[in-house]
Amino acid sequence: MQPIKDGFWEVLQLIRNGDPELYQATFLTLLTSGSAILLACIIGVPSGILLGLSRFPGRKLIVTLINTGMGFPPVLVGLFVFLLLYRDGPLGNLKWLYTPAAMVTAQVIIAVPLVIGVTLAAIGSLEKDWFLQVRSLGASYGQTLLLLLKETRLGLAAAMMAGLGRILAEVGAVMMVGGNLKGETRVLTTSILMWVQRGDYELAIALGIFLLGIAFIANLCLTLVQQRAKERRTG
Taking only the tens place, the pLDDT of each residue in 31-88 is 999 999 999 999 999 999 999 888 889 999 999 999 999 988 999 999 999 999 998 8
Q: Answer whether 115's CB lies under 8 Å from 41's CB.
A: yes
Q: What pLDDT is recorded for position 229?
A: 66
Q: Compute and round to an integer the Cα radius of gyration of the chain.
A: 21
**Domain count for the chain:** 1
Distance CA 155, CA 159 (A): 6
Taking only the tens place, the pLDDT of each residue in 157-181 is 889 989 998 999 889 899 999 999 9
Q: What pLDDT is recorded for position 29?
A: 94
Domain of 33, CATH number, reads 1.10.3720.10
In terms of Cα–Cα distance, which of 177, 206, 185, 167 is closest to 24?
A: 185
Query: Cα 59 vs. chain centroid, distance in angstroms?
Result: 25
Please determine, for residue 1, whether its predicted confidence score (pLDDT) is greater than 70.
no
| Enclosing domain of residue 100 | 2-234
State the pTM of this model. 0.89
